[in-house]
Amino acid sequence: MLTNLSIKNYALIESLSVNFQDNLSIITGETGAGKSILLGALGLVLGKRADLGTLKDSKSKCIIEAKFSVLNYKLEGFFEEHDIDFEEETIVRREILPSGKSRAFINDTPTTLQVLQVLSGKLIDVHSQHQTLQLSDVNFQFQIIDALAENYNKIESYKRGLKLYNQLVKELKSLKDSEQSAKELYEYNLHLYEELEAASLKKDEQEVLEQNLDKINNVEEIKLNLTEAQATTLNEEVGIQALMVSFSANLNRIKSFAPEYKELFERVSSLKIELDDICSDIEVLNENVEFDPIELEKLNNRLQLIYNLQKKHSVSTIEDLLDIQEALSVKVDAVKNSSKIITEKENEIKDVSLKIDKLAKTIYSKREKAIPIFIKKLEGILFNLGMENTRFKMNLIHSDQYFLNGKDELELLISANKGTNFGELKKVASGGELSRIMLSVKAILSEYSNLPTIIFDEIDTGVSGDVSQKMADIMKQMSDNMQVITITHLPQIASKGKQHYKVYKEDIKNNIVTKLKELNQEERINEIAEMLSGKNASETAIEHAKQLLN
């Protein structure tokens, strides 16, 4: 519940701090005293957009701070989810700088307005006069029925299922779109793939082919040089081999005379062995060198095929061609397997839809049972509020369409007088009747929700006399389950409060400021007496005020 509200430099407020307690608290004050300013400041803490025009002193920052006791409201999960320290007394702070920049904090942890709005929705319900229009909003009507039906967990499960369903439907559409595009290119891609596959390309093939082609194209020069090299080694008089034999023999004769001669002989012997091997290889290579026109044509054709494929696909290596072949294989296979994949996705969607259909049916059944209970409670409360002939009817239709909260359509109709037809709420009920209906709805919801605090901003507009007394009794009863703060202009309601606060203006050195104070018993008597008879309260009004308070 709200335990303290502190405001600095906001509108007509220089500095204000007020403590709130449980049960029913009343706020009164003359028109224009600043009651709406309080709600405006509280709205900033609850996540509303800031406006530089709200700064009293445009050179100083505005600070609004609200303290909430949150111990018994199971909010630990929210704080953990948003990485905020959980405190039994949670402090929400909003700062508006002269530059226009706005900052928000929860327990001194910086946060966003979106997070602030989510938290405030779990802590406090601020109900102003114009919010009676919510009664005609189907989503609000569903919130009422679902609270009575205890549908929260079922609806959350349904929402998760619906999110998955929508994602799968989106994926199916993407698959079908891709299939259509792929089919249009299938024949072309298949041709390209089969062409590459038929080429039976090998990774290092191109380099080998180019080397072999170079060898055949230069066969005459190779033959000439190998022959001359062979002649240079085999000449009996001046050939390298003959000279090497003589060279080795010379060193062989002296090798025993010194270790260094022996080493020279051994080195030359190694050279001679290597030379003999080289000569043998030259002889073999020379015998194998021949011009083969068939092989030449084969190599040229193979390389031309590779060059043509590289040009066609705008690449320069076989590795690139093999990569393209793999990519084309995937595209071709995708088209071949797309029907199977689409069927699997459709079956997955069917399974999910069956589950959320079952949840939606359960939600519908619980709503069906809750509607008569709600109507009976609502008509019973309104009977005591002077609307004894008012009747309600709710039409609940289970449809085939998926909505965010189920598959149901809802219509709330009202008959305000005997013998009149049922019609739409906004067309049948007056402003005063809408206020009484909304109060009745909130009273019913207070029995089923775990909301800590509700604030009524002059919900009693358009009512008076005995009806206002009954409305006061309802608020008093609601405050047994939650903290209720009511801004009112009716003395009958003001007298029901456990605490009573007054908003007033004060002229301080030609500077008008709004202030708020908690009234003691004597001050309450005077305030209620003034509400009854005006500024100069009569003795009769004072006695009446005492009677109301007692």
Q: Where are the domains of the chain?
A: 1-128+449-519, 178-337
Instruction: Reduce the secondary structure of 69-98 to three states and give it as a string.
Output: ECCCCCCHHHHHHCCCCCCCEEEEEEEECC
- 109-111 and 124-127: which strand pairing? unpaired
Q: What is the pLDDT along the chain (550 residues), one digit of tens a residue?
A: 999 999 999 988 889 999 999 899 999 988 878 888 888 889 899 988 887 777 888 888 999 999 999 888 888 989 999 999 999 999 999 999 988 888 999 999 999 999 999 998 889 988 876 677 778 889 989 999 999 999 999 999 999 999 999 999 999 988 887 777 666 677 777 788 888 888 888 888 888 888 878 777 777 787 788 777 777 777 666 677 778 887 888 888 888 888 888 888 889 888 888 888 888 888 888 777 777 778 778 888 888 888 888 898 898 888 999 899 888 888 777 676 667 788 888 999 999 999 999 999 999 999 999 999 999 999 999 998 888 899 999 999 999 999 999 999 999 999 988 878 898 888 888 877 888 888 899 999 888 877 889 999 888 777 777 888 888 999 999 998 899 999 998 999 999 999 999 999 888 878 888 999 999 999 999 999 998 888 877 888 899 999 988 8
Nearest residue to 96 via CA among 208, 174, 11, 200? 11
List CB contacts of 260: < 8 A, sequence separation 6 or more: none
Grouping H, G, I as helix, E, B as strand and the rest as coil, residue 441 is helix
Residue 207 to residue 212: CA distance in whole angstroms:
9
Write the single-letter amino acid at 541: A
Model confidence, pTM: 0.67
Q: Is the distance from CB of 274 to CB of 233 less than 8 angstroms?
A: no
**Which stretch of DSSP H or E encloses residue 238?**
none
The CATH architecture to which 1-128+449-519 belongs is 3-Layer(aba) Sandwich (3.40)
* Number of other CB atoms surrounding residue 272 within 10 Å: 16
Greatest pairwise CA separation for the chain in angstroms: 155
- Distance, C-alpha 317 to centroid of its chain: 46
